[in-house]
Copies of this chain bind each other. A is one copy, B any other.
Amino acid sequence: MTIEDVAVHAGVSVATVSRALRGLPNVADSTRRRVHDAAERLTYRPDPAAARLAAGTTGTVSVVVPALDGWYFSNVVAGAEAVAADEGLEFQVIGVASPADRDRLLAGARRLERRTDGVVLVDLAIGAEQVASLVARGIAIATVGTRIDGHPWVGIDDRLVGRLAADHLVGLGHRHVGMIGGSSPDPMSGEVPRARRAGFESALAEHGLALDAADVADGVFTMEGGREAMERLLTSSDRPTAIFSMSDEMAFGALMACRDHGLEPGSDVSLIGVDDHEFSQVVDLTTVGQDVAEHGARAARALIDAMSRTTSGGDRARSASPAPDEAPEERFVGDVGLVLRSTTGPPRPGSADR
């Protein structure tokens, strides 16, 4: 079942079949119909490998994440994958656990070379040479989280996230707050944790409060990381009455630590996370929510736009852009919002105030 069969059945040449099926111009409507009918009747499917080889394009987009598991990355991936599928593009996810992995990949390893037309980089900081190298190889770029100048970016206002958390805790009456968040060797390290902390601290400052170094426990962005960090905070002699966890998953670990210490979240100690993980409603965790799947989707969309722009003006059929000349949206800032639940509450009357 090749393009040739369709051509014969439709009584035209293969070139015409190719044009007709891809929605390219310069095909008479009647001819196009005839070709479509023939293709339908034969249940013809173009061979993607042949198409790629001939066109010199891979028809696939990749998303590179620091880890394959974890709620955040999974959801970004899911969002991106949905739009890729929607566009009929192949989709590939690549996990780079370490900076070394990342460099190896970007240096032109077998996962990218000749295998992708564009990459969505999620929370990955890469050097200018590496960016240049990708561009040189004709690979389009979009980012989520960490940004790269000159390429589409999707993210949230991370300072606002920290600010919302701080305002909520302080609003409840807490004067001694702590934080658990991203440490340096963490893949997610970089702008995001720094911005959240900055927002958190500056909001505290506006309330006349400061974040004591002893009340900050770093850890990896996982349940276990959160558990360990919380453990350190809870064993401190003068522990905070409320804690801001930089992710819900860390907060889950923190909840386990609370249980270990016989502390009731929301009354003995307040805890607020970030993400609005679906599991957060199970443990009734107060959090700052964000729509991560949308971030992935937006980034993928921007990437695909960039790709079709690179490909000499974008002849991708069906890409119904009302105005092709319109400047593409190069930045998307997603919404965030406080989700009130039961792990936060006023400090206990007896608790040490500052």
Contact = CB atoms under 8 A, between A and B. Distances in A.
Interface in A46-60: 47-50, 52-53, 58
A243 interface: no
A281 B256 CA distance: 8
A114 interface: yes
Count of identical protomers in the assembly:
2
Contacts of A43: 108
Interface in A36-81: 43, 45, 47-50, 52-53, 58, 68-69, 74, 78, 81
B53 A50 contact: yes
Contacts of A110: 45, 88
Interface string A83-98: 0000010101000000
Contacts of A113: 45
Contact of A252 (B47, B81, B256, B282): B282
A129 interface: no
A223 interface: yes
A115 B115 CA distance: 15
A7 to B, nearest CB: 18
A78 B73 CA distance: 14
Given A223-B278, A223-B282, A282-B283, A69 B58 contact: no
Contacts of A255: 282
A114 to B, nearest CB: 5
Contacts of A78: 68-69
Interface in A200-231: 223
Interface string A278-295: 110111100000000000
A259 interface: yes
Nearest to A284: B259
Contacts of A282: 223, 252-253, 255-256, 279, 283
